[in-house]
Amino acid sequence: MSEDLNPVVPIEEQPVEPVEIKEKAEKEEKTDYSNKGLKEIVDSFKELLEGENMQQLYKHAEALKAAFYKNLRKEKIASGLEQHTEAVEGTEAPVEEAPEEESVSVNPFAEIERGFKDLYAQYKTRRSAYTQEMEKNKEENYQAKLAVIEDLKNLVEAREDLKETFPKFRELQNRWRSIGPVPQARVKDLYDTYQHYVEMFYDYVKINKEFRDLDFKKNLEAKEKLCERAEALAEEEDAVGAFRTLQKLHEQWKELGPVSKEFRESIWDRFKAATAIINKKHQAYFESQKGNQKENYEAKCALCEKVEAIAKTEVADSTEWNKLTKEIENIQKEWKKIGFASKKDNQKVYDRFRAACDEFFAKKRDFYSGFKNQMQDNLAKKIELCEKAEALKDSTDWKKGSEEFIALQQAWKEIGPVSRKKSEQIWKRFRAACDEFFNNREKHFGNQNSEQVDNLNKKRELIEEVKAYVVEDRDEAREALRAFQDRWNQIGFVPFKEKTRVQDAFRKAINEKFAEFRETGSRYASKVDRTVRTERDRLVQKFMKKEQEIATWENNMGFFSQSKNAEVLLQELNKKIDVARQELAELEEKIKEFDREHEQE
């Protein structure tokens, strides 16, 4: 026997679902549109209107309407067209609708609101037509099901042969299931009547006992599985999810046929017991939410106190405003995570929180209204510094130019901030002029290092000349010795690491070539050794050390340019480098003066 033979379960076996719980479940399924923009809300409404699913449209229309007017108020407040009275997400603040009629005005939101109202009017028209159509369909369905019952009644009373009766009964069951919903007020009586004749069919029609028992067995197995699923749901922690799944199980139970009389009461009691547990946990979940309302109220009061304290803080600069704004935003996020307080306290604590937030942002708005003009003045001053830097960037007066650039950089530091849009642009312009000057200066002083290499080569060539000199006449040899010494002293500095090596090579060549003039040579060599290795050596070492310091500082400038305080660090380094170069020039002059005095001796 096919399972299609199964009748609908008696109405008394259907669990009663509390209206309050159903309403809460429906509320939980509503979509949150509060984070969508006006255009997204309107587009969503249009898409639903263009679709064929009226149930989806009905389900989302009011949520879209509430979100639209809430966000419209926010936009008006942001544009200054309306006083700030918007509700924080998560509270129960009412949403006011715009007037039904509004003439065209300078209000930029008027057309947006008018367009939304047109969509909502279309929805109400469709909803009214749909409701009327549904009621009409339900009445037609009711009449169709009455016809099925009448045919079923006739079938039961006819007592025809099983071969003819069974296919007719199955066709009546299929007709019954294919018919849609009926008016709610007539559901119970209708199902009771239908079930009565179904039971009569099973009780009085001369049906084959084997088929009947097999059908009862299959129905019992199916209902046992539903019981097992319901009992498993009763163990789940998610009370809301379990409740929703239970409703689907009840729909399946209704479609299953009866079981044998000996199991009818026990199987239903088992399913009903699991249903009761799930319903109780679902109800307890909402009751627990009420128990948390006091804690939620206290938590929200604590957040109000934090915002009120911040709102009273005296702030003098944008950095502090940004810091406090971030704190306010974090507190608002925390507010949204807290559940509802009791109905009488929720609006009151929300109003307190909103007032503190409004006070803070009003003070911030006043600050930046004056700050904007100040930033314009700062921009003009920085443009003036850029022009001065650009006029100075090609200067070759390195000392004076460095001093002037340092002064410009110091002046730049003392000027306040400009708008974020212009800040990076104006800084790059100023930085480019500074970099060009200091890069040119670096190239200029970098050439001095190549001069030291040239001097090293000249001294090596002179050493070779000394080695190649042939002594023929004593007087000429003495003149040649002095000439070699004079030429050696006239050659400038060499790289520091080569200084000692090349000096020793020169001294050795002199001693070997002019050995017969040992007294004169020794005296002269001794004098060179004494001066070079004492005062002159000290000056040269100091000179080379200062050069190394300058090179290190200039190399570090490239790294400092990446840091947050680059401007300050670069100013300090440039100042150090300028002082060091001045000292370097003084040391060079002292060494030259020393050599001139030595030459006279």
226 plus 346 within the same structural domain: no
* 149 and 176 assigned to the same domain: yes
- Computed on alpha carbons and rounded to an integer, the radius of gyration of the chain in Å comes to 49
For residues 279 and 181, membership in a common domain is answered with no
pLDDT, residue 572, reads 75
The rounded mean pLDDT for the chain is 76
Taking the C-alpha atoms of residue 452 and residue 491, their distance in angstroms, rounded to an integer, is 10
**Is 187 in the same domain as 247?**
no
Judged by average pLDDT, the poorest of 129-143, 395-409, 417-431, 437-451 is 437-451
Domain housing 472: 398-600
**Same domain, yes or no, for 463 and 488?**
yes
Average pLDDT over residues 95-122: 64
Q: Is residue 392 part of a domain?
A: no
pLDDT, residue 41, reads: 78
518 and 586 both lie in a single domain: yes
582 shares a domain with 441: yes
Residues 222 and 313 in one domain: no
Q: Map residue 259 onto helix, strand or coil.
A: coil
In-domain check, residue 26: no
Mean pLDDT of 568-586: 77
pLDDT of residue 598: 57
Is residue 73 included in any domain, yes or no? yes
Tokens 């940004």 appear where? 322
SS3 (DSSP) at 236: coil
Closest Cα partner for 360 from 305, 309, 300?
Answer: 309
Q: Compute the distance between CA of residue 279 and CA of residue 28 in angstroms, rounded to an integer.
A: 16
In a domain, 19, yes or no: no
Percent of the chain with pLDDT over 70: 77
> What proportion of the chain, given as a percentage, has pLDDT over 90?
4
Same domain, 407 and 444: yes
Dist. CA 355–CA 311, nearest whole Å:
10
Q: What pLDDT score was predicted for residue 170?
A: 84
- One domain for residues 437 and 358: no
Please say which residue of 254, 289, 324 terminates a domain: 289
More confident residue, 285 or 306: 306
Number of domains observed in the structure of the chain:
4
Q: Which of 256, 289, 322 is the last residue of a domain?
A: 289
Q: What was the pLDDT predicted at 17?
A: 36
Closest CA to 384 of 358, 412, 356: 412
444 occurs within a structural domain: yes
Residue 136 lies in a domain: yes
pTM metric for this prediction? 0.30
73 and 122 together in one domain = yes
In a domain, residue 62? The reply is yes
Domain end position, chosen among 155, 179, 207: 207
Contact 418, 426 (CB under 8 A): yes
Domain check: are 180 and 39 in the same one?
A: yes
Whether residue 383 is contained in a domain is answered as: no
Mean predicted confidence (pLDDT) in 445-467:
78
